[in-house]
């Protein structure tokens, strides 16, 4: 029997899922779930749930309180759209992590839909877009995200002076497609090392 309640990671839905797994693993009966929930609420959620804890509505159940907490903490569809289109989701994260965050915000949209692919591609840095543009139509968004991570890692700086020289010579070509192909060639050589 586990005695440790799940730690709160910042995602309310995940935390409730973990808490319910704890209930199941420890055979916690329904009448004990609400008191455990009240004692386990993370401090960061207290401003949102304080009234539910201090003035519990009559006939409340674990499920009714859970539903209310999820309702209070869920992000509206409008806010999700604004976050996807306007806010900076990336920060210091990998581009594949940006894709994951976008999927979380669009949970009702198929994971590899054209919408997700276009939104993801639109959020990439300009130099990464230029390099990955030829891949857009033929590859899944997961392949593009993994390639974007490699490009970002590579663009932090070539590893040798010879690679810098070779890449610089190829990039001088003004054609965007030729530039992309030159960078892909350099990437492939680095990956094979």
The reported pLDDT for the residue numbered 101 is 74
Write out the two tokens for 114: 């054209």
Q: What mean pLDDT comes out for the span 188-193?
A: 56
CA distances 91 to 75, 83, 94, 103, 111, Å, are 20, 13, 9, 17, 22
pLDDT in tens, 164-176: 455 445 444 434 4
Residue 123's φ and ψ, nearest 5 degrees, are: -90, -5
> Which of 23-32, 55-64, 66-75 bottoms out in mean pLDDT, i.e. has the lowest?
66-75
Candidate ranges 66-75, 76-85, 178-187; pick with highest mean pLDDT? 66-75
The reported pLDDT for the residue numbered 172 is 44
Vertex 51: Cα angle to 45 and 54 (nearest 5):
105
Mention every residue, 6+ apart, whose C-beta is less than 8 A from residue 193. none
Q: With beta carbons less than 8 A apart as the criterion, state whether 26 and 4 touch.
A: no
Please tell me which residue, 139 or 107, carries the higher pLDDT value: 139
The reported pLDDT for the residue numbered 63 is 92
The reported pLDDT for the residue numbered 98 is 73
Mention every residue, 6+ apart, whose C-beta is less than 8 A from residue 17. none
**Residue 123, Cβ neighbours under 10 Å: how many?**
19
Write out the two tokens for 93: 């994260």
Look at residue 32 and tell me whether its pLDDT is greater than 60: yes
Give the whole-angstrom CA distance, residue 153 versus residue 175. 23
Orientation angle between helical segments 161-171 and 176-192, nearest 10 degrees = 160
The reported pLDDT for the residue numbered 127 is 82
The pLDDT-based confidence of 20 (bands split at 50, 70, 90) is very high
Element (H, E) at 98: helix 95-105
Write out the two tokens for 134: 């030829």
Vertex 16: Cα angle to 13 and 20 (nearest 5):
140
Give the whole-angstrom CA distance, residue 91 versus residue 17. 28
The reported pLDDT for the residue numbered 106 is 66
Average pLDDT value over all residues in the chain: 75
């Amino acid at each position: 029997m586990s005695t440790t309640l799940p730690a709160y990671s910042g995602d309310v839905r995940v935390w409730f899922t973990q808490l319910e797994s704890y209930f199941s693993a420890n055979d916690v009966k329904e009448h004990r779930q609400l008191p455990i929930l009240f004692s386990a609420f993370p401090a960061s959620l207290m401003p949102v749930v304080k009234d539910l804890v201090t003035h519990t509505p009559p006939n409340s159940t674990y499920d009714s309180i859970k539903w209310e907490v999820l309702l209070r903490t869920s992000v509206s569809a409008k806010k999700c759209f604004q976050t996807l289109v306007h806010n900076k989701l990336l920060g210091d994260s990998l581009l594949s992590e940006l894709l994951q965050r976008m999927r979380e915000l669009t949970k009702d949209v198929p994971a590899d839909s054209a919408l997700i692919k276009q939104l993801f591609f639109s959020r990439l840095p300009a130099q990464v877009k230029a390099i990955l543009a030829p891949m857009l139509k033929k590859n899944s968004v997961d392949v593009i995200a993994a390639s974007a991570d490699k490009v970002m890692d590579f663009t932090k700086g070539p590893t040798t002076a010879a690679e810098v020289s070779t890449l610089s010579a190829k990039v001088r070509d003004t054609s965007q497609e030729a530039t992309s192909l030159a960078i892909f060639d350099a990437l492939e050589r680095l990956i094979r090392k």
